[in-house]
Structure 1
Amino acid sequence: MKTGANKEQEGGCKMKAGNGLTNGMITSGQAAKLLFLFALGTAALIVMTTVVAIAKQDAWITTLVVAPINYWFLLIYLKLAERFPDMTLAQYTEKILGKWLGKALLLLYVFFFVILSALVLRNISDFLVLSILPTTPDWFIAVSFMLVVIYGTYLGIETIARTGELLFGGSILLMFIISALLLNQFHIENFKPVLYHGWEQPLKGMYPLIGFPIGEFVVMSMVLPFVRTEDRGKLRKQMKLSIMLIVFFSFMLSVLLIGVLGVEETMRSPFSIFDMAKTINVQDVIVRVEVTVAIVWVSTVFSKLILSFYASALLSAQVLGLKSYRPLIFPIAYFVVPISLISYRNSAHAEHFAKIVWTPYSVVMGFIIPLLLLLLAFLTGRKGPKNSAQPVPTAVETSNAELAGNAQQSGSGQAGESTPS
Structure 2
Amino acid sequence: MLKGMNNVVGQGNDKKKMEFPWETIMQKQNISALQLFYIIFGFELGTTMIIGIGAEAKQDAWLVILISMLTGMILMGVYTQLSVYYPDDTLVQMIPKIIGKYLSYPLIIIYILHFIYSAARACRDFGVLIVSTILVDTPLVVIIGSFMVLMMYCLRGGLETFGRMGEVILPIYILATVVVWFLIFSTGQFNIKNLTPVLGYGLKPILKEVFPVTINFPFGEAFIIMMFFPFLNNRKNVRKVGMAVILITGLLLTANIVITLSVLGPGIYKKDLFPLLTATRLVSIADFLERFDALIILMMVVGVFFKIGGWAFGAAVAISQLLKINDMKSVLLALGTIITPLSLLIASNFTRHLELGLEYFVPYFHVPLQIIFPIILLFIAFIRKKLNLDNYSD
Specify if TM > 0.5.
yes
Does the 8 A contact of 1:190 with 1:263 survive in 2? yes
| Partner residue in 2 for 1:190 | 194
Write out aligned runs for 1:60-71 (5 A). Answer: 60-71=62-73
Write out aligned runs for 1:135-146 (5 A). Answer: 135-146=137-148
Of the three residues 361, 369, 373, the one matched with 2:377 is: 373
Write out aligned runs for 1:299-314 (5 A). Answer: 299-314=302-317
Write out aligned runs for 1:235-384 (5 A). Answer: 235-360=238-363, 361-381=365-385, 382-383=389-390
The answer to whether structure 1 residue 153 and structure 2 residue 158 are counterparts is no
Structure 2: gaps spanning 5 or more residues: 1-21
| Partner residue in 1 for 2:231 | 226
Q: Give aligned pairs, total.
A: 366
| Partner residue in 1 for 2:179 | 177
Structure 1 distance, partners of 2:141, 2:25, is: 41
The answer to whether structure 1 residue 205 and structure 2 residue 209 are counterparts is yes
Aligned-pair CA distance for 1:380 = 2.0
Q: CA-atom RMSD, angstroms? A: 2.1
Aligned-pair CA distance for 1:147 = 0.6
Aligned-pair CA distance for 1:285 = 4.2
Would the alpha carbon gap of residues 239 and 384 (structure 1) be closer, same or farther in structure 2, given more than 3 Å must change?
Answer: farther
| Partner residue in 2 for 1:406 | none
Structure 2 distance, partners of 1:60, 1:309, is: 30
Aligned-pair CA distance for 1:201 = 1.6
Would the alpha carbon gap of residues 107 and 311 (structure 1) be closer, same or farther in structure 2, given more than 3 Å must change?
Answer: same
Does the 8 A contact of 1:114 with 1:312 survive in 2? yes
Structure 2 distance, partners of 1:15, 1:146, is: 24
Amino acid at match of 1:96: I
Does the 8 A contact of 2:277 with 2:293 survive in 1? yes
CA deviation vs aligned residue, 1:110-139 (integer Å, no higher than 9, x gap): 100010111111111111011111100000
Aligned-pair CA distance for 1:99 = 2.0
Instruction: Give the TM-score normalised by structure 1.
Output: 0.82
Structure 1: gaps spanning 5 or more residues: 1-11, 17-21, 386-421
**Percent sequence identity over matched residues?**
27
Does the 8 A contact of 2:42 with 2:302 survive in 1? no
Aligned-pair CA distance for 1:354 = 1.7
Does the 8 A contact of 1:167 with 1:300 survive in 2? no
Aligned-pair CA distance for 1:384 = 8.0
| Partner residue in 1 for 2:10 | none
Aligned-pair CA distance for 1:56 = 0.4
Aligned-pair CA distance for 1:109 = 0.7
Partner of 2:78, secondary structure, is helix
Write out aligned runs for 1:5-84 (5 A). Answer: 23-46=28-51, 49-52=52-55, 54-84=56-86
Structure 1 distance, partners of 2:391, 2:310, is: 24
